[in-house]
A and B are shown apart, each in its own frame.
Chain A
Amino acid sequence: MTTAAIPYTVEPRPDTGLNNVKLGIWLFLASEVMLFGALFASYILLRVGAPPGTWPEGATILNVPLATLNTAVLISSSVTMVMAWASCMKRDLGKFRLYMGLTVLCGVGFLIIKAIEYGAKFQHHLLPSTNTFLAIYFTLTGLHALHVIGGMAVNAWFWGPGSKMWHTAHQQFTNRVETAGLFWHFVDLVWIFLFPILYLL
């Protein structure tokens, strides 16, 4: 044995029945729930506290068709992500590359559509400083977009240089893809709530 700095990265810990990677990502996601939870709470408080009749309906300011398209794009990327993991399980490197590549491309597509939306708002001088609704809209969708960028960076790494582990430590690689997937699905999940709350209500 040379070094084994972090124990239980592949095999499950006897007491938890989980490897540390799985427990670690879920604890991180729990903290993310609190981060977004605080902002959701702010949204509710700001909206309920606004003088009657002053809170704009999202659809009158925002582009619902583009956001609907973006919802479909993100849901599709969640499916390709989980298919990438399934390809790891079946040891099919070609399919893994295909599905992981599609996942990253969907991420790119989501950000392009989001950028078009932001651009149209800026063009009409609809800025975070314009009103409270736009302030919370840009805060929530901006934070979400940062998460998309972060997830894409990790996914792109596993698609490219990170996939060297495919042959040397396949099980560990599969676990890492699953972990990256858990984060990616969480980002999808957050959008599933952001979409109706900001655009439709």
Chain B
Amino acid sequence: MSEQHAVDHGAHHDHADVDRHVRVYVLVFVALLVLTVVTVAISYLDLPTGPAVALALFVALVKGSLVACFFMHLISEKKLILWVLALTVFMFLGVLLGPWITDLDQVKLFGT
């Protein structure tokens, strides 16, 4: 009897948990829509290329993090997944920055 009660209690707890999640999802949804407007608004400022790229990527990074942390539950995910992703980020940066090596002969080092 008491065991059954514990199970029921657990189920109720789960439902309350899910409801809490849902409230967060709605907040994240609103934040994503606002940030989308911000992204477009920034592009109308006609900033120089450097700051424009930096700002646009920063906003995209914030939006992406919101999706990953809350919709993809990374904020409460097991360590192993986070390690897999840390390795992925490292490899991703390698792919992204690696091609610069082909351009190194164009770079002036030590004022030569």
Nearest A-chain residue to B79, judged by Cβ: A17
15 A-B pairs whose Cβ atoms sit less than 8 Å apart in the complex: A16-B80, A18-B81, A27-B84, A44-B96, A79-B29, A86-B25, A90-B15, A186-B72, A188-B67, A192-B60, A192-B64, A192-B67, A193-B57, A201-B43, A201-B56
B28–chain A nearest beta-carbon distance, Å: 8
A33, A48, A82, A182: the one contacting B25 at CB < 8 Å is A82
Chain A residue contacts of B75, Cβ below 8 A: none
**A37 and B71 form a contact (CB under 8 A):** no
Q: Is A61 close to B, CB under 8 A?
A: no
Give the distance to chain B from A65, nearest Cβ to Cβ, in Å.
9
Chain A residues with CB under 8 A of B52 = 201
Asked if A68 contacts B40 (CB within 8 A), the reply is yes
Q: A185-B71, A185-B72, A201-B56 are in contact. Are A23 and B80 (CB under 8 A)?
A: yes
- Residue A1, interface by CB 8 Å: no
Q: Which residues from B are CB-within-8-Å of A59? A: 43
CA distance A45 to B78 in the complex (A): 36
Chain B: number of interface residues, binned into ranges? 35 or more
Tell yes or no: A78 within 8 A of B by CB.
Answer: yes
Q: Does B53 contact A (CB under 8 A)?
A: yes
Taken together as a complex, chains A and B put the C-alpha atoms of A77 and B60 apart, in Å, by 18
Instruction: Determine whether the beta carbon of B36 is less than 8 Å from that of A41.
Output: no
Please give the distance in Å from A74's CB to the nearest CB on chain B. 10
Residue of A48, A59, A185, A192 ringed by the most chain B CB atoms within 10 A: A192
Q: Smallest CB-CB separation from B87: which chain A residue?
A: A30
Q: In the assembled complex, how far is the CB of residue A18 from the closest CB belonging to chain B, in whole angstroms?
A: 5
